[in-house]
Amino acid sequence: MGIGDFRRGLLLCLAFAAGLLLTVAPGAGAKVKVLKSEKLDSRLTELTLSTPNVDGPTGVRVLLPAGYGSSSRNYPVLYLLHGAIDDYRSWTDKGDAEALTAGLPLIVVMPDSGPSDGYTNWDNPGPDGQPAWERYHIEDLIPFIDQRFRTRADRAGRAVAGLSMGGYGAMIYAAKHPDLFTAAAAFSGAVNLTNPLLLSISTPTARGDYATHKLRFESDNPLSLAENLGGIDLTLRTGDGSSGGPLDPDGGFDIVESVVHASNVSLHDRLGELGIGHVWEDYGPGNHTWPYWQRDLKKTLPGLMKRFRDRTPAPKRITFKSADSSYGAYGWSVKINRKAGEFSMLSDAGRNGFGISGSGRATVRTAPLLRKCRRFSVTIRDVSGKRKTVRHTGRKRRLEVKVNLGPANPFEQFTPEDEAAGHHSASANVSFKLLGKDRCGKKKRGGHG
């Protein structure tokens, strides 16, 4: 294989993805319109949709469980994502998804995300417009599916999986929206965007050039956001591209699978460092082809169905990392007053307090996990020192706390200017102690510290 073939193969098979932190708003699925609905067989329906986030019509296939029409139950949902070059039809036309899920009480949704640079909100227009794939999938499609079909419309009943580019999509969606998915699986996934070989063939269409938009890439990289994956049932399956695999049609070395193997090893190692459990299968010889992805899905489904049956709750303490100045997960929200883009992280956040790192001034609002109408003593340890204040949960069962993370960095993180100035990040820790009951009148209570 020549260098030109190598570059073209990687570009087509491992197209990158990116996106902004999004939340699913009630009624958001109303933005989706059905242009056409065709029942292909007793289980499979193909929908043609319009959405303001994608230019032109876009397709999605939905596999319903056997007996769906005569049942009144609600079913868990697997969002099954395609790779580059392929589309929403590929998992059923090439991946045998219908046979593999036969007999399972499961709805499978297979959306389109374009032939390359999928699972991203594009910064620049391309030949087919400027699609916001992540915004469509997260804000539009999930609510639409929950409204149109009898789904278990909660985190414990929703999972995401995909191959190659779709494996990237599965992991980045789980990392950016961990409160939406109970499980995520990547099959030969491009899960490290900053792999040097991947960067060597990247194009600026979706996100800009890496040299001048490093934070953009890093903030869209599952490896960089690995901390967010705690509490999710994770699966990584990959070959190493070497010859001699049992399902290889040609039996030769596959450079594409070799590159994604290195990316998966990086994520596997990082998850291990963080103490985040996951299923890891490095099956050695094997190439970047459908027979392996079919096998991967078949192996993954039993564990996925068990996860759905267990109805695993969200973690009691969460960690969430983001480069956005306003972000949140699991009902927690963070707003930071700062000058330039950089990573910040809410850590070990739960009923007893939280930690946070970054620069500037941060306002943290807890999830509604505390008892309403209660007074708490709040101990804050930040750049300003140690201090105590009293906060009230009110009827919304939340506390709001302001912390000082020191002077805001003047330049975007990872830029030459930032490195020359010396990037700095401060940490703060906040703890809560219940004082007792509080009166909840009509007037909103609480203050800032």
150 and 227 in one domain?
yes
The answer, yes or no, to whether residue 273 has pLDDT greater than 70, is: yes
What range does the domain containing 344 cover?
318-437
Burial of 375 (0-12, 13-18, 19+ CB in 10 A): middle
277 and 325 in one domain?
no
Tell me, yes or no, whether 445 lies in a domain.
Answer: no
Tell me the H-state helices in 57-186: 90-93, 97-100, 133-135, 142-148, 165-176
Q: Which one, of 112, 113, 109, lies nearest residue 77 by Cα?
A: 109
Tell me, yes or no, whether 443 lies in a domain.
Answer: no
Of 290, 310, 330, which one is at a domain's C-terminal end?
310
Amino acid (one-letter) located at 409: N
pLDDT tens readout for residues 116-158: 888 988 887 777 778 889 999 999 999 999 999 999 999 999 9
What is the CATH classification number for the domain harbouring 176? 3.40.50.1820
Of 277, 310, 343, which one is at a domain's C-terminal end?
310
130 and 200 in one domain?
yes
Predicted TM-score (pTM) of this structure: 0.91
335 and 218 in one domain?
no
**What pLDDT, on a 0 to 100 scale, did the predictor assign at position 206?**
83
Tell me, yes or no, whether 444 lies in a domain.
Answer: no
pLDDT band at 196 (very low <50, low <70, confident <90, very high): confident
425 and 278 in one domain?
no
188 and 68 in one domain?
yes
184 and 52 in one domain?
yes
215 and 364 in one domain?
no
Tell me, yes or no, whether 149 lies in a domain.
Answer: yes
> Quick one: which H or E segment has residue 36?
strand 33-39
Domains contained in the chain, number = 2
343 and 305 in one domain?
no
Average pLDDT, the chain: 91
383 and 409 in one domain?
yes
pLDDT band at 441 (very low <50, low <70, confident <90, very high): low
List of residues 6+ apart from 378 with CB closer than 8 A: 388, 389, 390, 391, 399, 401, 430, 431, 432, 433, 449
pLDDT band at 25 (very low <50, low <70, confident <90, very high): very low
Stretch 100-122: mean pLDDT = 92
273 and 222 in one domain?
yes
The answer, yes or no, to whether residue 12 has pLDDT greater than 80, is: no
Tell me, yes or no, whether 288 lies in a domain.
Answer: yes
How many whole angstroms separate alpha carbon 98 and alpha carbon 77?
Answer: 14
Tell me, yes or no, whether 442 lies in a domain.
Answer: no
Tell me, yes or no, whether 447 lies in a domain.
Answer: no
Amino acid (one-letter) located at 271: L
* DSSP string covering 158-218: EEEEEETHHHHHHHHHHHH-TTT-SEEEEES----TT-HHHHTT--STTT--TTT-HHHHH
Place of tokens 């939905």: 62
Tell me, yes or no, whether 354 lies in a domain.
Answer: yes
253 and 333 in one domain?
no
Of 310, 339, 360, which one is at a domain's C-terminal end?
310
